[in-house]
Chains A and B, each alone.
Chain A
Amino acid sequence: AQSVTQPDIHITVSEGASLELRCNYSYGATPYLFWYVQSPGQGLQLLLKYFSGDTLVQGIKGFEAEFKRSQSSFNLRKPSVHWSDAAEYFCAVSSYNTDKLIFGTGTRLQVFP
């Protein structure tokens, strides 16, 4: 069965530190991969997506993610975290032969000054 795993429920970093949020997926077909961010009490906003091509994708707000097929991973990174990055981050996956978008359970990011 298709699934998305975000192993880290909660991550705390200091402002200015680097960040990596993990996402692993289990999917039979070529995946379409997404990262979304959610501020408290708000909807989700798309950070970036991967469909094909270059495995390193750039997104908004200085985020990037790398697709590694051999590891079934699509980890989100940012070189220097800002206090405004504190939010919940969701990884999601779909495919050309499905009509479902599967979300991970999310990683809550806390940023200390």
Chain B
Amino acid sequence: DGGITQSPKYLFRKEGQNVTLSCEQNLNHDAMYWYRQDPGQGLRLIYYSQIVNDFQKGDIAEGYSVSREKKESFPLTVTSAQKNPTAFYLCASSIEEGTGAYNSPLHFGNGTRLTVT
């Protein structure tokens, strides 16, 4: 079955270390997204990519970096510059229809819970 795989499910890091979260999809979707979820705040967009080798900052990109070298993969690096990295991170993908419009439903992975101490 097609889907989105996020790994690992749980991740623990010491403060000051960079950490990379994996996101792989086999849905043949063009667009991929990273969201951060904190209790009571809904989902906030970190980065998104509509095509290979191109990506754009979302609302809370500071302290994060991404790459999109392959259509299937969109890893997220949480750097030591991120002030409050402990959160639940969700990766999503969608078929791009139209010119950059969010009119395609998102397919989500099961998330990675990152704890930084």
Contacts and interface: CB of A to CB of B under 8 A. Distances in A.
B68 to A, nearest CB: 16
Interface stretch (A14-22, A62-70, A76-84, A97-105): A97-105
Contacts of B42: 90, 103-106
Contacts of B6: 43
Contacts of B102: 32, 94-95, 98-101
Given A46-B107, A90-B42, A105-B41, 17 more contacts: A32-B103, A41-B111, A43-B4, A43-B6, A43-B110, A43-B111, A44-B106, A51-B103, A90-B43, A97-B101, A99-B50, A100-B102, A101-B102, A103-B43, A105-B40, A105-B42, A106-B40
Interface in A21-49: 32, 34, 36, 41-46, 49
A36 B106 CA distance: 9
Given A103-B43, A105-B41, A44 B103 contact: no
Interface of B: 4, 6, 40-45, 48, 50, 56, 58, 90, 92, 98, 100-103, 105-111, 113
A95 B99 CA distance: 11
Contacts of A42: 110-111
A109 to B, nearest CB: 15
A9 interface: yes
Among A97, A101, A104, the one with the most B-chain Cβ atoms within 10 Å of its Cβ is A101
Interface magnitude class on chain A: 20 to 34
A96 B100 CA distance: 8
B48 to A, nearest CB: 8
Nearest to A106: B42
Contacts of B101: 32, 94-99
B89 to A, nearest CB: 11
Contacts of A96: 98, 101, 103
Nearest to A9: B40
A43 B113 CA distance: 11
Query: Top 6 A-B pairs ranked by shortest CB distance?
Result: A43-B108, A94-B102, A101-B102, A105-B42, A99-B100, A103-B42
